[in-house]
Chain A
Amino acid sequence: MPPPAPAERLSHAREDSPTEGMLMTTTASSARPARSHRNPFARASVGFVLPAMVLVAILLYIPFVYTTYLSFTEFSGLGTPEFIGWENYVTVFTDPTILRSLVNTAMWVVGTLVLPVGLGLLLAVLAHGIKGSAWYRLPFLLPYAISGVAVGLVWTFILQTDGALTEALRFFGLPGADARWLLDWPLNTFVMIVAATWQGAGVNALLFGIGLQSIPKEPIEAARIDGASGWNLFRYVTWPMLTPLTTVVIGLAIVGSLKTFDIVWAMTKGGPGRASETLALTMFKETFTEYKYGLGAALAVVLTIVTVTSALLYLRRQLAPAKEF
Chain B
Amino acid sequence: MAGHFRPIAIALAGAALVLSACTSAPAPTQSADPGTGSSTPPAVTEPTTLNFFTDKAAWEPSFDQMNAASESTGITLSFSGYSDPTAYDAFIKQAFQTKKVPDLFTWHTGDQLKQLVDQGLIAETTPLWADAAAKGLVPDGLIDNYTYDGKQYCVPLNVAYWAMYYNKHVFADNGIAVPTTWDELMAASQKLVDAGVTPFHQMNFIFEFVWFQTLVLGIDPAVYRGLGTGESSFLDPAVVQAMELWKEMGSKGFFIDPGVQTDPQTLLSTGQVAMANFGTFFTGQLTSIDQVSGEDYGIFVIPSVNPQVKNQMVLETGPLCVGAGAEHEQAALAYSGWWFTDDAQTVWSDSRGDVSFNPNVPVKDPELAALVAAANSPDVELQPRFLEMVPNAIYTTEAEVMGDFVTNWGDPMEALKKMQASADEHWGK
Chain A interface residue number, banded: 35 or more
Q: In the docked arrangement, what's the CA distance between A272 and B116, Å? A: 31
B258, A183: Cβ atoms closer than 8 Å: yes
Residues of chain A lying within 8 A (CB to CB) of residue B119: 78-79
Q: Do the beta carbons of A182 and B259 come within 8 Å of each other?
A: yes
A145 on interface, CB distance cutoff 8 Å: no
Question: Shortest Cβ distance from B121 into chain A, in angstroms?
Answer: 7
Complex contact B96–A271 (CB within 8 A): no
Q: Chain A's interface: helix, strand, loop or mixed, by majority?
A: loop
Within the complex, the shortest CB–CB distance from B99 to chain A, in Å, comes to 16
Q: Using a Cβ cutoff of 8 Å, how many contacts connect chains A and B? A: 107
Judge whether A44 is part of the interface by a CB distance below 8 angstroms.
Answer: yes
Does A1 interact with chain B (Cβ within 8 Å)?
Answer: no
Q: Does A48 contact B (CB under 8 A)?
A: yes
Q: Which of B14, B115, B260 has the most CB of A within 10 A?
A: B14
A162 to B270, CA, bound (A): 15
Which residue of chain A lies nearest to B406 when distances are taken between CB atoms in the complex?
A272
Of A3-11, A51-59, A312-320, the stretch lying at the interface with chain B is A51-59
In the bound assembly, the distance between CA atoms of A269 and B258 in angstroms comes to 13
| Contact across chains for B258 and A272 when beta carbons are under 8 A apart | yes
Nearest chain-A residue to B393 (Cβ)? Answer: A290
Interface size class of B (residues with CB under 8 A): 35 or more
Is there an interface contact between B18 and A161, defined as CB atoms closer than 8 Å?
no
Say whether B400 contacts A47, CB under 8 Å: no
Q: Is B59 an interface residue (CB 8 A)?
A: no
Give Cα distance in the complex from A51 to B408, angstroms: 56
Chain B residues lying within 8 Å of A46, measured Cβ to Cβ, are: 7, 11
- Which of A79, A273, A288 has the most chain B CB within a 10 Å cutoff? A273
* Closest Cβ neighbor of A78 among chain B residues: B119
- Looking across the interface, which residue of chain B has its beta carbon closest to that of A50? B11
C-alpha spacing A78/B18, complex, angstroms: 27
A46-89 CB mask vs B (1 if < 8 Å, else 0) is 11101110110010000000000000000011110000000000
Cβ of A291 < 8 Å from any Cβ of B? yes
**CB contact list, B6-46 vs A, under 8 A:** 6-11, 13-15, 17-18, 22
B63-119 CB contacts (< 8 Å) to partner A: 86-87, 89-90, 93-94, 96, 115-116, 119
- Determine how close the nearest CB of chain A comes to the CB of B422; give it in whole angstroms: 11
* Sampled A-B contacts (28; CB under 8 Å): A43-B3, A43-B6, A43-B7, A47-B14, A48-B10, A50-B7, A50-B15, A51-B11, A51-B17, A54-B14, A55-B18, A77-B90, A77-B94, A78-B96, A160-B261, A160-B262, A161-B258, A162-B257, A180-B259, A182-B259, A271-B407, A272-B258, A272-B403, A273-B404, A274-B403, A284-B86, A288-B87, A290-B392
